[in-house]
Amino acid sequence: MEKLITDDALYHKIDEIIAMHGASKHNLLAILLEVQEINPNHYISKDEVIYISKKLDTHVSNVFNVMSFYSALSDKPKGRYVIQICNSTCCKVSKYEKLQEMIEKELKIKVGETTSDGMFSLEYSSCFGACDISPAIKIGHEVYGMLDQLKLKRIIESYRGN
């Protein structure tokens, strides 16, 4: 789902975000994170990047440099809810693969894919510090662990419900 290039409301919001950060190049990371947040598909489009670079008086290549460096930023659209499965050390010994199987079964997609209705994307993530409840998943700002198939189903349904 591509954004409309002439979405005035979107660009107005971007202006606000930039203004709130003093239109300073140093706040580029914070600005990008917030701009991404207002997009339901958790990404920043090329047009937005060009716009931001003009407003901050910096090169498009520099904005793209920052965007592409960090895992939390994306230049490609994702599903409405991004489910991240930790595949780092602790979740490995806690068998994240079993959790992955459960989710893939529930959503009928594999890691790296998005459901056809655009609701869920599934991806791996490096450790996000939820080792005490591993294996863990993260959906937006929420972290879930100690899951069985039933708990997982309920969680996913609660997101579907929204």
Partner 1 sequence: MKTCTLSINNKQITVPEETTILEAAKKLNINIPTLCYHPDQKVKANCRICLVHDKSSDKFVTACSTKVTDGAEILTNTQEVRDLQKGVLELIIANHPNDCLNCIRSGSCSLQDLCRRFNINNSDMINNIDTYVIDNTSGVLVRDRNKCIKCMRCVEVCQETQMVGVLSPYNRSVNTNVGAGFNTNLDKTLCTFCGQCSSVCPVGAIYENDETEKAWEAINDPNKHVVVQVAPAVRVALGDELGISRGEEVTGKMITALRMLGFDKVFDTNFTADLTILEEGNELLHRIKTGGTLPLITSCSPGWINYAEGFFPDLLEHVSTCKSPQQMFGAVAKTYYAKKMDIDPAKVFVISIMPCTAKKFEAARPDINSSGFRDVDVVLTTRELTRMIKSAGIDFADLEDEEFDTLMGTSTGAAVIFGATGGVMEAALRTVYEKVTGEILTDIDFHDVRGFDGIKEATVDLAGTSVKVAVAHGLSNAYKLMEEVKKGNSEYAFIEIMACTGGCLGGGGQPVRSTKLVKARRMDSIYRIDREMPIRKSHENPEVIQLYEDFLGNPNSHLAHELLHTHYKKRSDELV
Partner 2 sequence: MDKSVSIVSKNFKKIKVDTIDDYLEVGGYESLKKALSIEPSEIIEMVKSSGLKGRGGAAFPTGKKWEQASKVEGDTYILCNADEGEPSTFKDRYFLEYDPYRIIEGMTIAAYAVGGREGIIYIREEYGRIREIMKKAIANAKAGGYLGENILGSNLSFDIKVVSGAGAFICGETTALIESIEGRGGRPRIKVKRTAEAGLFDKPTLANNIESYGVVTTLLSEDAEKYLNCGTSISKGTKIISLCGNVEKPGVYEVPFGITLREIIYDLGGGIKDGRHFKFAQVGGASGPLVPKSMLDIKYSYEDFKEKDFSIGSGAVLVADDTNRISEFMVTVQEFFAHESCGKCTPCREGNRQLLKIAHRFAERKGEMEDIYKIQRLANIMQKCSFCGLGTAAPTVMVTAIKHFYDDLKENMVENKI
Binding site for partner 1 (CB under 8 A): 46, 49-50, 53, 58-65, 68-69, 75
Q: Does 78 bind partner 2 (CB under 8 A)?
A: no
Residue closer to partner 2, measured from CB, 7 or 123: 123
Residue closer to partner 1, measured from CB, 70 or 95: 70
Query: Residue 122: in which H helix or E strand, if any?
Result: strand 120-125
Out of partner 1, partner 2, none, which partner does residue 61 contact, by CB within 5 to 8 A per kind? Answer: partner 1
Size of the site for partner 2 (CB under 8 A): 38
The C-alpha angle with vertex 27 and arms to 79 and 1, in degrees rounded to 5, equals: 20
Binding residue for partner 2, selected from 10, 17, 18, 32, defined by CB under 8 A: 32
Distance between CA atoms of residues 137 and 97, nearest Å: 12
Distance between CA atoms of residues 5 and 112, nearest Å: 27
Whether the Cβ atoms of residue 106 and residue 156 lie closer than 8 Å to each other: yes
Distance between CA atoms of residues 29 and 13, nearest Å: 16
Q: Does 138 bind partner 2 (CB under 8 A)?
A: yes
Out of partner 1, partner 2, none, which partner does residue 23 contact, by CB within 5 to 8 A per kind? Answer: none
Q: Count the neighbouring beta carbons within 10 Å of the beta carbon of residue 6.
A: 8
Please report, as residue ranges, which positions from 95 to 134 form the binding site for partner 2 (by CB under 8 A).
Answer: 95, 125-134
Strand 120-125 to 142-144 pairing: unpaired
Residue closer to partner 1, measured from CB, 70 or 151: 70
CB of 117 to partner 1, least distance (A): 28
Can you read off the two tokens belonging to residue 10? 């979107």
Query: Residue 160: in which H helix or E strand, if any?
Result: helix 149-161
Residues found near partner 2 in the complex (CB under 8 A):
24-30, 32-33, 65-66, 69-73, 87-90, 92-95, 125-134, 138, 140-142
